[in-house]
Amino acid sequence: MTGNPAPAAAYKGPLPRATPETQPFWDGAKAHKLMLPWCEDCGQAHFYPRALCPHCHSVRLAWRQASGRGKVHTFVINHKAARGFEDKVPYVIAVIELEEGPRMMSNLVMDETPTPENVHVEMPVAVVFDDVTPEVTLPKFRPVR
């Protein structure tokens, strides 16, 4: 995340552990690229990354960088902190529909406190990268004005 990076030791949220089929996604995030698996047979992207295409079950998959643009498909404003999120409430958990089609869960990064008035379904967003530890970067999304 640009602007206000937390010191690595301070990060208390749960961290993902990559599996072989998701490793390129997390490697991409660390390099500040949003990577998606694409099916070379049916031509569709999918998320989360799997070892086979969930649309046509082909195993001919290739990784490509996504545009990072999308829309809020649905969201919540969480006031009950998950473990490690105590200093972040209220925070937005959103399902982002990416321009390429797949949807992914993430957080909205906002300058103001989120309220039902300033967050909306269908709001356009763009990816930002939050380097939460030296090893792990989480792709998050910022509203686009």
Q: For residue 27, what are the CA distances in angstroms to 23, 67, 83, 90, 105? A: 6, 17, 25, 29, 18
Q: How far is the CB of 142 from other proteins (least distance, A)?
A: 14
Q: If you search the block for the tokens 């082909």, which residue do you land on?
A: 58
Residues 6+ apart with CB under 8 A from 72: 94, 95, 96, 97, 108, 119, 120, 121, 122, 123, 125, 141
Provide the minimum distance between the beta carbon of 76 and other proteins in the complex, in angstroms, as a whole number. Answer: 5
> 69 vs 118, which CB is nearer to other proteins?
118
Per CB under 8 A, 103 contacts other proteins: yes
Binding mask of the shown chain, residues 23 to 52, with x at each position contacting other proteins by CB under 8 A: ---x---------------------x----
Number of residues binding to other proteins, judged by CB under 8 A: 39
Residue 39 or 92 having the CB closest to other proteins: 92
Q: What single DSSP character describes residue 82? A: P
| Interface region with other proteins, contact rule CB under 8 A, candidates 2-10, 13-21, 34-42, 55-63 | 13-21
Residues sharing a CB contact under 8 Å with residue 47, sequence separation 6 or more, in sequence order: 36, 37, 98, 102, 103, 104
What is the DSSP secondary structure assignment for residue 47, as one 8-state letter? S
Site residues, other proteins (CB under 8 A): 13-19, 22, 26, 48, 73-85, 88, 90-91, 93, 95, 103-107, 116, 121-122, 136, 138, 140
